Amino acid sequence: MLYLVHMTVSIPDNLPTAEADRIKAEEKAYSQNLQKSGKWPHLWRVVGEYANYSVFDVESNDELHDLLSKLPLFKFMKISVTPLAKHPSSIR
């Protein structure tokens, strides 16, 4: 199942820089592992924002929720999810 996921990150100003840097490093490693596994095939930055649009390819709603909730930055994110279906006019 494919999902379009929009994530907006808002790290509190009072979070110590060292802690924020540690969490971001964990986030990068976790997201790159998911990309390598094929579960996160697309990751696009939103210009001018601390946000992204991503496509996830997972087996179920529950798997997507599990993967997203394990993101180290999850508690600092606003996330919206749109399930995707093949378009009848698509040539792919």
The full set of domain ranges for the chain reads 2-84
Handedness of CA 88, 81, 68, 43 (dihedral sign): positive
Pairing of strands 2-9, 42-45: unpaired
Structure tokens, 33: 């592992």
CATH of domain 2-84: 3.30.70.1060
The confidence score (pLDDT) of residue 92 equals 84
Each residue's pLDDT tens digit, 9-66: 999 999 999 999 999 999 999 999 999 999 999 999 999 999 999 999 999 999 999 9
If you average pLDDT over residues 66-78, what whole number do you get?
Answer: 98
CA distance 27 to 15: 16
CB contact at 8 A, 40 and 31: yes
CB contact at 8 A, 73 and 11: yes
